[in-house]
Amino acid sequence: MKATAKAHTNIALIKYWGKRDESLILPMNNSLSLTLDGFYTTTTVTFKEKLSEDIFYLNDHLITGEQYNRVTKFLDIIRSYAQRSNLYAEVSSINHVPTAAGFASSASGFAALAAAATRALNMQISEQELSKITRRGSGSACRSIYGGFVEWEQGMKDDGSDSYAVQLVSNDHWDVRVAAVVLSATEKKVSSREGMKRTVDTSPFYTSWVNSIPNDLTQIKQAIQDRDFEKVGQIAEANCLKMHATTLGANPPFTYWHDTTMSVMQEVRAMRDRGVPAFFTIDAGPNVKVLYLPEHETTVQKTLREIHGVNDVIVSRSGQGITYL
């Protein structure tokens, strides 16, 4: 009744932005990500007959409140699935995702938790089934079950049974690098959950965003197969800009960008003008992730570190999916 799993976070190149079902976490569009080796969560789950409630440690600290509630509600889903409704767990997670890096640790966190909990209960499930369960904890986490390039298929069914991630190519298909650019100013006034909802409900641009996804996906999937870096980068960067455009049309309008976010975008464009193929993508926060190829690692890192307002640059390679320890 004890298991330990490790999951990496992932960066979306075609963004997940908006839910069609808030409760089941069903998205409005397919998304596509790269799993990153630099950021991960290791989680041990031990189910114990004598416990009367779950216990959750994060980085060796006992967690209560909202963060605890989210974990225990997710364990309820797994318990219900396993028909073990009165069995509680001790959960211990170690996060190797610096919050300041602007990666949602929820992706690696819920993927590792789902994997460890289902394994601890000795549930015999496929990775696809695991991805579906993980989705209920955090949408983008369902992509972290797999390594390399991964697509989350939105699915059509109301019960979410066809909404899960699939691996497109494994992490050894292509050595693409991602630099996470950590900014000094990381204040975020609108959570990604709230931002998505406000955008879906009020932005006149939202429908056009959703309608533009299938073409982006078709193109980027071909470019990934072809290892066409310029094309992957261009599609990812344009997709990110479209996503952020939708927030500017919301009511009230909002943006996740800071002045330094803009400085990094400018500098990435300037690198391209100087012949260094680098492309940016930005999630629901001010930090920027920069895609590049191994041969440009020195240049890209140096250039990014010199930008005023940049605190740190953390490099990742294409990472693996779930591993059990």
Q: Using CB under 8 A as the criterion, which residues of the chain lie in contact with a second copy when the complex forms? A: 204-205, 207-209, 211-212, 234, 237-238, 241-242, 244-246, 248-249, 251-253, 255, 257-263, 266
Nearest approach in angstroms of CB 187 to a second copy is 10
- Listed as own residue / partner, the contacts of 263-267 with beta carbons closer than 8 Å and 24 or more positions apart are 263/307, 263/308, 263/309, 264/181, 264/183, 264/288, 264/290, 264/304, 264/307, 264/310, 267/303, 267/304, 267/307
Q: Which is nearer to a second copy, 110 or 206 (CB)?
A: 206
CB atoms within 10 A of CB 253: 12
Nearer to a second copy by Cβ, of 253 and 294: the residue is 253
Q: What's the farthest any 2 CA atoms get from each other in the chain?
A: 64
**Residue number, 80 or 208, with CB nearest to a second copy:** 208
Residue that the structure tokens 């509630």 belong to:
69
By C-beta, is 129 or 228 nearer to a second copy? Answer: 228
Taking the complex as a whole, how short is the minimal distance between the CB of residue 263 and a second copy, in angstroms? 4
Nearest-approach distance from CB 204 to a second copy, in angstroms: 4
Where do the H-state alpha helices sit in the chain? 65-82, 105-120, 127-137, 192-202, 206-225, 229-248, 259-273, 297-305
Q: What are phi and psi of 156, to 5 degrees?
A: -115, -20
CB of 280 to a second copy, least distance (A): 11
* Closer residue to a second copy (CB): 72 or 234: 234
Q: How far apart are CB 247 and a second copy at their closest, in Å?
A: 8
DSSP bridge pairs for 7: 41
